[in-house]
Amino acid sequence: MTSLAAFTVVVLIVALERLAELVVSKRNAAWSLARGGVETGRGHYPVMVVLHTGFLAAMLLEAFLRRPDVAPVLAWSMLLLVVASQALRWWCIATLGRRWNTRVIVVPGMAPVRSGPYRLVPHPNYVAVVVEGIALPLIHGCWWTALAFTVLNAALLTVRIRVEAAALATLPEASRA
């Protein structure tokens, strides 16, 4: 199998993982809304969907058009970071349980989660997204995609984290770290 074919398989696996996330997210969002959950930040959500979908497509397009030579040490180290970011992402999902979804929905009266990775970092899932946004394209030397996604994602996360912080501030004990 060529490195380009292997890279394509890795990106497709990540895409399938994203689809699994969306299934979990939809189920969990319905659970939260059924318990009086309030969604905020709807305006940025379509931008997030387009950015993350475009990210997967862009790196494949870049890989097929540029066909870069990739040092094995870069490819393997970036793959290791991608696997670590997936582990962190699923640790976040497991820690939040039914409260995790891809939207910003809070159930009034439920205290913020402060266990698992949330006891270490305020937004650990976004750490996983940032690491993956750099590492996944660099598995195959897709520097342009890594750079473009990182810049666009930083702008999106600026909005997203503000929306999330405001929503979480409505919950009990939200001011205590």
Locate tokens 């970071």: which residue? 81
Average pLDDT across the chain, whole number: 95
Residue 22 has what DSSP assignment? H
Tell which residue, 135, 2, 142, has the closest CA to residue 62: 142
The ranges assigned to domains in the chain are 3-168
pTM: predicted TM-score of the whole model, two decimal places: 0.92
Q: What is the pLDDT of residue 2?
A: 85
- The angle at the Cα of 159, spanning 157 to 161, to the nearest 5 degrees, equals 60
CA dist 103 and 44 (Å) reads 10
Longest dimension (CA), the chain: 54
Taking only the tens place, the pLDDT of each residue in 97-117 is: 999 999 999 999 999 999 999
Q: What is the pLDDT of residue 176?
A: 42
Q: What's the CATH architecture for 3-168?
A: Up-down Bundle (1.20)
Asked if 25 contacts 101 with a C-beta cutoff of 8 angstroms, the reply is yes
